[in-house]
Structure 1
Amino acid sequence: MASRTQQGTEAARSPTACYRELSQFPAVTGAALGAATGAQSFQLYTECSRPDLPRRRLLRFSRHYSLHRTGNGGLTVSRAALSAEINNQLLSRDSPTGQHRAVLSRCPRQGHELLEVWGSSGRSHSVDLTALGKHGEVYTEGPFACLAWSHSETRLLYVAEKSRPKRWAPCAWDVPGAARPPEEVEDEEDKEQFVYHEDWGEALSTRSVPVLCALDLESSSLSVLEGIPEHLSPGQALWSPGDSGVVFVGWWHEPFRLGLNACSNRRSGIFYLDLSSRSCELLSAEHRAAFSPRLSPDGRRLLYLEGGVGGPHRQCLCLRMLTWQTRQTLMVLDVVQEPTEAFAGLFTEVLPLQCWAADSRRAVLGTPQRSRTDLLLVDTEAATVTNLTAGSPEGCWELLTLQWDLLVATCSAPHHPPSLVVTVLPPAGQELPLRWVPVEDTPIVPGVTWKTLTVRPPCSGQTAAVHSECPGVPDVPGCCLGARDTRDGGYQGRGPGVGGSERHPFPGTQAFEALLLSPPDSMAPHPLVVCPHGGPHAVFDARWRPGMAALCWLGFAVLLVNYRGSLGFGQASISSLLSRVGEQDVADTQLAVEQVLHSEPLDPNRLALLAGSHGAFIALHLLTREPKRYRACALRSPVSNLPALLGTSDIPDWRYTSLGLPYSFERVPRAEEVATMLLRSPIAQAARVQTPVLLCVGARDRRVSPTQALELYRVLRARGVPVRLLWYPQGGHALAGVEMEADVFKNCAQWLLQHMGLP
């Protein structure tokens, strides 16, 4: 692959060729370990995917490896088999011992969903779930989905859509006296044919009423579990100790459902359903958002994430632990208001399925830490955090599984596609440094360099500062952080207000960061593409993004801006954006641009904007405030008219929260509030836009209505501004999918090249 990549940097200069070349690196989407013969040998199974552009679909395949633990605590790795394509598989999960694998697949002919169990002797069970007719479609992804083995490995637990009877609706134009089947004789239920059924919003439009289902492998019987209160939607289920009941997350859906995708602030709780008595017990606190339960190997402790209800859709979370026998909960890590050098808080929305160490005391999870995603080891008894990957050259680490104290993870960087690595977790207190062993190593992509820039907004009477992150060099001019080397740093974390008493590394004001990706210096000064992220409470971490690397191959430098309000910088940073959207986020982005132009070999006369959703909202504001500064702009699913989203978005509460206004389910907008929203909207100043704008929208977007872009398109076109609108009939908010993503990149890149004057 290295030789092909080298050829790509030298010869392939079209957007399509660059994207095709750089998107071929596979992503590891899942991993499982199984014990082989001997206590020190293991089998590693991985599932991978990459775009198959010629066939316009996602290519999924498996890889197998053999791991052997050596006497000195090391590992040796060897490939056990050739890669094999995965077809029609929707979901899979290995049993606790690794001796069985449950696979949910779809039969290509009938479209039926089959749940099968495979072992060393082949397939042992196959159940046609569709033919049984006890529920609708099985949930295979999203916040509700799960596939869980019982500890006895005799039962499987999953979530599916509640079965809804399909009835023939009589029509006024039916022929009188026409024969109808007896089961279709008109009754009261026929009147329910066109009743509206709520769903869970963007990316969950087919998810309305989830139910928990249990398959008994010994009797081949399937049951929909009863006893769950009607006001709850269950998901993320697992078997309780002893298999006597089920632990699940229940989301309140009364009086109506709000969008759940990328929203960890919805009221939810951890529940226990006793299968014999059908009683349902709330294990977590009332009026909180609790989710992602993980049971320790010894069955004594339950770890889960918890956050506040309402407010920002994504927040800094706390980590709680429940002792199963006593039902007592303990705060392991509280919300961090201000980040320290050692710990910035928890911002992940899901814990790894296998995150516990064998001692049932320590757990490993991945979370944004400023502009990185690191692996953190949490000692649940001492309430301490150790960053296992701080200081590594890779900026994004993701844990795939932790079994028998073997860590399997991927790591990547803006110039380094994901690599698969493994390590042995040492005993408590001896974790650092970890010795990672490459399993599948990918080459560094030539023609792309990157660095992290720290930006501190100016205090009163001070000049703002920006610098490249320089760990171990505390006297960098203008450096507000000094050295940021946390490889040996730990964090003491139990109790309320954790982090507030720690030293604040940003004296005087909250700092933020940006990632700068650059082509070779020989091409300087580089034109700059500015990218504020969407969300707004999200983050650009230093991971591999083939589209951004392709822009560097095309000759652009790329600035990924993590303005104040981004994840990974403490809760105070997130809260600082409330009531300041359209102001603070826009000013931060422009500040990052101005300062990077002074410190890097960039062309100030060739600037462009590339963003989506709330990032597009920021970009549009920049076009109205700097009408002649940016030469091109390409936007995906843009937010342009805030009050228009009140009745069209699946998250109407955010419209109020973003402006610092309270929200309640029964609330209707007031005239002064609508006026405030309109004044904060780019559409109000659209007459100032002079920059050529490309708009890409999905017709099925439930979060930001595509009519936002259509309204903006008409306004710009009427004023003679060069504008183009791409309308994707099957697209949602993320414009996801192999063909759609490739087409969006190609058109955006061509638009930037055309209007920036590049060949």
Structure 2
Amino acid sequence: MEPRQVTGVYRELSGLHTLVWAHVSEEQLPEVRIYTVTAEWGQTDMVRGARIRFSQQWTVIADSNNHKSIRTVLPPGVCLPISGELLSSRSPVQNLRAVVRDISGHHLLEIWDRQGLTKCLNLTALDKHGRVYEDAQFGCLSWSRCENKLLYIAEKSRNTSEDTQESAYMKDRNVYCEDWGEALTNKSVPVICAVDLQNGTVAVLQGVPADVSPGQALWAPGSQSVFFIGWYHEPFRLGLKFCSNRRSALFRLDLEGHCERLSGDNLSVSCPRLSPDGSTLIYLQGGVFGPHSQCLSVQQLDLSSGKTSTLLDVVNRPQNGGFAGVYEALPSCCWSADSQRVVFSSARRNWKDLFLVDRRSKKVSSLSDNLSDPSQVYGSWKLLTVQRDLMVVSCSSPNTPPTLRIGFLPSSDEAVTWRTLQQPLKTFDFQWSVLDVTPPPEEDNTYYSGLDFGAVLVKPSRPLRETRIPLVVYIHGGPHSQFPAEWNCTTAGLAKLGFAVLMVNYRGSTGFGQDSILSLIGQIGSQDVKDVQRAVLTALRSDATLDPQRLAVIGGSHGGFLCCHLIGQYPDIYKACAARNPVINAATLLGTSDIVDWRYNSAGFQYSYDQIPTAEALAAMLQKSPISHVAQIRAPVLLMLGGRDRRVSPHQGLELYKALKARGSPVRLLWFPDDGHSLSRVDTLADCFLSTVLWLHEHL
């Protein structure tokens, strides 16, 4: 296998575009109703070593009398490149487009209509705040209903003239300034900014509690107050990325500076979404500390009465493969036009499905359609938006890159009639299947008995050689995340190069209920390791084309932790390992991670901010870590480390590297000084894929 061949495969697959965002606008004509669907795509350009974005539009013509009956879909317009955009948002009525753009370090706010650019403000020159937040955690760009005002989040200005101790500290560049951790570096003190488009002014809203960092803001009905989520940052900030367990609350702030908390205390909340009629606000709610990803409830706040009730509760154990709960953020537009139904995507076992919940009956229905066309089954349905009852979704499978589809919300229990707007440029001749795995009695969890888990197996339809297929066991991180049966560039690349791939959703993965998530607490390094091994044995028994003599493991973060456990606990089984930013020694990681709480919780200890390490806790963390099995490791190990990783210090991988070198075990280390935990730079991803494939090929 030549490097040029591997690079060519990666260039082909990474160049396929993926769906990022969508918007729907509507126009009523005498005989027809016109819907304009705008989709934004992302694509990797290996030539410039960057990710690019572009947009495309479709015109959907529906009957005037029955607007849910599509007459025709016109051919799409040309793709238009998007350059420098940090945030964009469409207004609800006039379909104005607001864009925050970065031009040579200056942030510009642009307003576009059908005639062109109508207003442009240089936010940097106004000097009201620091950099605008574009991340999904805090960032927002919210129109008021009158369409004269906008909200966004930015870093507090350090040039404040306030005579306070805090501002004095902020002026001293040598004083340590906390931020929100991995992938949120330099985001420390967010503020809510309101733009008045009529007079072109920007104001930083006052009244946010001093111990709260605001984000995800939106205008309340009447545009005289705003809703926002506030994360408590005292006594210090913990990493926020991928952590839905941080103490936070829903607040309402009026323009006079009066602020009130609307949600309960000591909870974690996110994703406020206002109904089209302005009567109800929904949001996600979960617990604080414990698993940093969890099953969430959906709360609904009646704005007239001020009463909050539960629309969807936490699902502890799904019944017969049914709805398993909510595990991910709600899209910005998720309401039906009548404000009575909410649409969302969520993990369900080894799948990602599309669901609808009716507020009146609280009944949950699946809107995914894998029956009308048996030749095309999608393992993942991701909602991009629903506007004017027209849903826009991204569908994919391990052999099918993202497909753009639309469908109207049904008025009753009938099935949705889905229409494909854009097929992927190509599909791939891979076989894939979903495995359900039941632990044997000796591996059952005493406190959460009877849980099972699953895996997704992907393999080439025609092996490159007549021999059995080598199997790569791909383990997700988190650990509370999921490998749905969706398009995955790494998996597709390995399958195209002749490997079978087993993506394991061990107990603790999302999509199997809250009991499954809680079952992993205190059991890391044992239950999850046994689950992966059990999934491998299940796959080998069910598929005779897989070669049990050529097994390898790959994974990142907690997935890398499990990779290194497997080669230490089952040294005769696995012939190669490739781990990205793995946890190697939880005891030494304790003081260097931005999510120190997880180090305690994962080992079975309660966490509090004033926690001091004890000999008992450190011993338990060490015993649960791969470093305790290093003497048994015989498989060659490839390590890939990000020099700027704040979640799992790169010194974790270095600790394993030195231990293996001291024992003469084959090990290779790749160091990426400018990358973080996700190793997500374009050049890093390409290098990691090439190195991983060549490593597996050499040792299998």
Deviation at 1:12, TM superposition (A): 11
Deviation at 1:563, TM superposition (A): 0.3
The code of the aligned residue for 1:408 comes to V
**Contact 1:33 1:98 (C-alpha < 8 Å) held by counterparts:** no
Which residue is 2:527 aligned to? 584
**Contact 1:374 1:390 (C-alpha < 8 Å) held by counterparts:** no
Deviation at 1:446, TM superposition (A): 2.9
Q: Deviations over 1:670-727 (max 9, x none)?
A: 0121111111111122111111100001101000000011111111112111111111
- Structure 1 range deviating more: 65-74 or 531-540: 65-74
The code of the aligned residue for 1:154 comes to N
Residue 560 to residue 13, structure 1, CA distance change in 2 (3 Å)? farther
Which residue is 1:358 aligned to? 337
Q: 1:23 aligns with which of 14, 32, 40?
A: 14
Q: Deviations over 1:400-420 (max 9, x none)?
A: 111111111110000000000
- Whether 2:54 is the aligned partner of 1:61: answer yes
- Whether 2:94 is the aligned partner of 1:112: answer no
Deviation at 1:349, TM superposition (A): 3.2
- Whether 2:663 is the aligned partner of 1:719: answer yes
1:49-88 to 2 correspondences below 5 Å? 49-70=42-63, 73-75=68-70, 76-88=72-84
Instruction: Tell me the distance in 1 between the aligned counterparts of 2:141 and 2:114.
Output: 20
Deviation at 1:598, TM superposition (A): 1.2
Deviation at 1:36, TM superposition (A): 3.3
Aligned length: 680
Q: Deviations over 1:471-505 (max 9, x none)?
A: xxxxxxxxxxxxxxxxxxxxxxxxxxxxxxxxxxx
Which residue is 1:250 aligned to? 230
Instruction: Tell me the distance in 1 between the aligned counterparts of 2:517 and 2:548.
Output: 30
Instruction: Tell me the distance in 1 between the aligned counterparts of 2:325 and 2:176.
Output: 38
- Whether 2:97 is the aligned partner of 1:101: answer yes
**Contact 1:653 1:663 (C-alpha < 8 Å) held by counterparts:** yes
Deviation at 1:142, TM superposition (A): 2.8
Structure 1 residue runs without a partner (length 5+): 1-9, 168-186, 463-506
Instruction: Tell me the distance in 1 between the aligned counterparts of 2:588 and 2:75.
Output: 55
Q: 1:517 aligns with which of 419, 434, 458?
A: 458
- Whether 2:398 is the aligned partner of 1:419: answer no
Deviation at 1:287, TM superposition (A): 1.0
Which residue is 1:372 aligned to? 351
- Whether 2:594 is the aligned partner of 1:650: answer yes
The code of the aligned residue for 1:620 comes to C
Give me the identity figure in percent.
46
The code of the aligned residue for 1:229 comes to P
The code of the aligned residue for 1:439 comes to L
Instruction: Tell me the distance in 2 between the aligned counterparts of 1:279 and 1:242.
Output: 16
Instruction: Tell me the distance in 2 between the aligned counterparts of 1:384 and 1:420.
Output: 27
Which residue is 1:234 aligned to? 214
1:268-283 to 2 correspondences below 5 Å? 268-276=248-256, 278-283=257-262
Residue 190 to residue 703, structure 1, CA distance change in 2 (3 Å)? closer
Which residue is 2:512 aligned to? 569
The code of the aligned residue for 1:134 comes to K
Which residue is 2:146 aligned to? 152
TM-score w.r.t. structure 1 length? 0.87
Which residue is 1:478 aligned to? none
Helix, strand or coil for the counterpart of 1:29?
strand
Which residue is 1:458 aligned to? 440
**Contact 1:533 1:562 (C-alpha < 8 Å) held by counterparts:** yes
Deviation at 1:747, TM superposition (A): 0.8
Q: Deviations over 1:325-344 (max 9, x none)?
A: 11101111111111113634
Which residue is 2:115 aligned to? 121
Instruction: Tell me the distance in 1 between the aligned counterparts of 2:221 and 2:159.
Output: 36
1:188-337 to 2 correspondences below 5 Å? 192-276=172-256, 278-337=257-316
The code of the aligned residue for 1:74 comes to S
Instruction: Tell me the distance in 2 between the aligned counterparts of 1:343 and 1:147.
Output: 35
The code of the aligned residue for 2:86 comes to L
1:374-393 to 2 correspondences below 5 Å? 374-389=353-368, 391=370, 393=377
Residue 458 to residue 520, structure 1, CA distance change in 2 (3 Å)? same
Which residue is 1:559 aligned to? 502
Instruction: Tell me the distance in 1 between the aligned counterparts of 2:170 and 2:480.
Output: 45
**Contact 1:637 1:697 (C-alpha < 8 Å) held by counterparts:** yes
The code of the aligned residue for 2:383 comes to L
The code of the aligned residue for 2:278 comes to G
**Contact 1:363 1:378 (C-alpha < 8 Å) held by counterparts:** yes
Instruction: Tell me the distance in 1 between the aligned counterparts of 2:424 and 2:449.
Output: 42
Alpha-carbon RMSD across the aligned residues, in angstroms, is 2.1
**Contact 1:342 1:387 (C-alpha < 8 Å) held by counterparts:** no
Instruction: Tell me the distance in 1 between the aligned counterparts of 2:160 and 2:567.
Output: 51
- Structure 1 range deviating more: 747-756 or 583-592: 747-756
Q: Deviations over 1:456-480 (max 9, x none)?
A: 0012699xxxxxxxxxxxxxxxxxx
The code of the aligned residue for 1:570 comes to G
Helix, strand or coil for the counterpart of 2:187?
coil
Which residue is 1:489 aligned to? none
Residue 445 to residue 461, structure 1, CA distance change in 2 (3 Å)? closer
Instruction: Tell me the distance in 1 between the aligned counterparts of 2:430 and 2:252.
Output: 50
**Contact 1:301 1:321 (C-alpha < 8 Å) held by counterparts:** yes
Q: 2:470 aligns with which of 516, 519, 527?
A: 527
**Contact 1:35 1:97 (C-alpha < 8 Å) held by counterparts:** no
Helix, strand or coil for the counterpart of 1:241?
coil
Which residue is 1:447 aligned to? 429
Which residue is 1:45 aligned to? 38
1:625-644 to 2 correspondences below 5 Å? 625-644=569-588
Which residue is 2:672 aligned to? 728
The code of the aligned residue for 1:358 comes to A
Instruction: Tell me the distance in 2 between the aligned counterparts of 1:533 and 1:350.
Output: 19
Q: Deviations over 1:366-388 (max 9, x none)?
A: 11011111110011121110011
1:592-631 to 2 correspondences below 5 Å? 592-600=535-543, 601-631=545-575
Helix, strand or coil for the counterpart of 1:213?
strand
Instruction: Tell me the distance in 1 between the aligned counterparts of 2:365 and 2:227.
Output: 29
Structure 1 runs of 4+ with >4 Å offset: 10-13, 187-191, 521-524
Instruction: Tell me the distance in 1 between the aligned counterparts of 2:410 and 2:443.
Output: 50
**Contact 2:158 2:170 (C-alpha < 8 Å) held by counterparts:** no
**Contact 1:237 1:248 (C-alpha < 8 Å) held by counterparts:** yes
Deviation at 1:192, TM superposition (A): 2.9
Helix, strand or coil for the counterpart of 2:477?
coil
- Whether 2:519 is the aligned partner of 1:539: answer no
Instruction: Tell me the distance in 1 between the aligned counterparts of 2:4 and 2:496.
Output: 7
Deviation at 1:660, TM superposition (A): 1.3
Q: 1:394 aligns with which of 378, 384, 397?
A: 378
Structure 2 residue runs without a partner (length 5+): 162-166, 372-376
Instruction: Tell me the distance in 1 between the aligned counterparts of 2:24 and 2:575.
Output: 52
**Contact 2:3 2:694 (C-alpha < 8 Å) held by counterparts:** no
The code of the aligned residue for 1:246 comes to V
Deviation at 1:734, TM superposition (A): 0.5
**Contact 1:235 1:249 (C-alpha < 8 Å) held by counterparts:** yes
Deviation at 1:348, TM superposition (A): 3.0
Deviation at 1:444, TM superposition (A): 5.6
Q: 2:128 aligns with which of 134, 142, 150?
A: 134
**Contact 1:104 1:116 (C-alpha < 8 Å) held by counterparts:** yes
